[in-house]
Amino acid sequence: MRLILLGPPGVGKGTQAQFLMDRLQAVQVSTGDLLRAAVREGTALGKDAKRYMDAGELVPDDVILGLIGEKMTELKGRSVIFDGFPRTVAQAEGLDRLMDGLGQQIDRVLELTVEDQVVIDRLSSRRSCPQCGAVFNLISAPPKVENVCDVCGHVGLIQRDDDKPEVIANRLRVYHDQTAPVAGYYHDRGNLVQADGLGSVEEVRSRVDSALAI
Ligand code: AMP
């Protein structure tokens, strides 16, 4: 099973991917997480990518397709949930070529939808752990102990540079200009389903299950 999760930043793709991993016995492949890991490790790719990420711009397609190519080879045919990828039509086309080469295919594409204002509210209250990357939301999913990571115990949760208000506006603009057309790409191929991303994590989860009929 190869599933793509589409939708604006902060819509809840990462959260739903966690549930779907269990349900589908699949691995989550998040290009945002792969890039943030490269930034933390200080690799050349990470240093280069950081400029784009901090500005809320997209990292160039060839860099992203290179990362995905490596990851897919490493995963050797396991079921995959793509989160935050593809972000441009060129990435979607590149993914098709990669899948062809591996004798695999994209089975389902799920688009989660919400209004821009919801994205702005959610991203501004998002905090993450600089050590392990776990994500919290001060309003809807706060850590059990204030400012302490539930997963690894690190003290000092941070706001991602790209979750700051001025960058959020640019990420939304980039999403509408460059990523929204990707939904059309998969709609034309007949494998797009949609679910409303508004509401509690559980509400969205049950809509996702119905949309995917799992
Ligand atoms: P995310 O955590 O998915 O919101 O990604 C954070 C940032 O990483 C984005 O704002 C982009 O700068 C970059 N990024 C993540 N995935 C991609 C992608 N598929 N294509 C281009 N840039 C990406």
| pLDDT over threshold 90, residue 109 | yes
Ligand 1 pocket member 52 (CB < 6 A):
yes
- Mean pLDDT throughout 20-27? 95
Mind listing the domains of the chain with CATH numbers? 2-26+79-212 (3.40.50.300)
Q: Residue with structure tokens 């797009």?
A: 192
Give yes or no: 87 in active site. Answer: yes
Atom of ligand 1 nearest to the CA of 55: 12
Query: pTM for the complete prediction?
Result: 0.90
- Mean pLDDT throughout 176-189? 97
> How is residue 114 written in tokens?
């919400």
Backbone angles phi, psi at 25, to 5 degrees: 50, 45
Q: Are strands 126-128 and 27-30 parallel, antiparallel or unpaired?
A: unpaired
User: What is the rounded distance in angstroms from the CA atom of residue 54 to the CA atom of residue 57?
Assistant: 8
User: What is the rounded distance in angstroms from the CA atom of residue 55 to the CA atom of residue 66?
Assistant: 22
Coil, strand or helix at 192: strand
* Cα 60 to ligand 1 centre (Å): 10
Q: Report the alpha-carbon angle 11-212-68, nearest 5.
A: 65
Ligand 1 pocket member 13 (CB < 6 A):
no
Pocket test for ligand 1, best of 87, 122, 170 (most atoms within 8 A of CB): 87
Atom of ligand 1 nearest to the CA of 33: 2
**Could you report the per-residue pLDDT of 36-63, keeping only the tens digit for each?**
999 999 999 999 999 999 999 999 999 9
User: What is the rounded distance in angstroms from the CA atom of residue 130 to the CA atom of residue 123?
Assistant: 16
Q: Which of 2, 50, 127, 171 is catalytic?
A: 171
Task: Label residue 161 by pLDDT band (50, 70, 90).
Answer: confident
Neighbours of 170 (CB within 10 A): 13
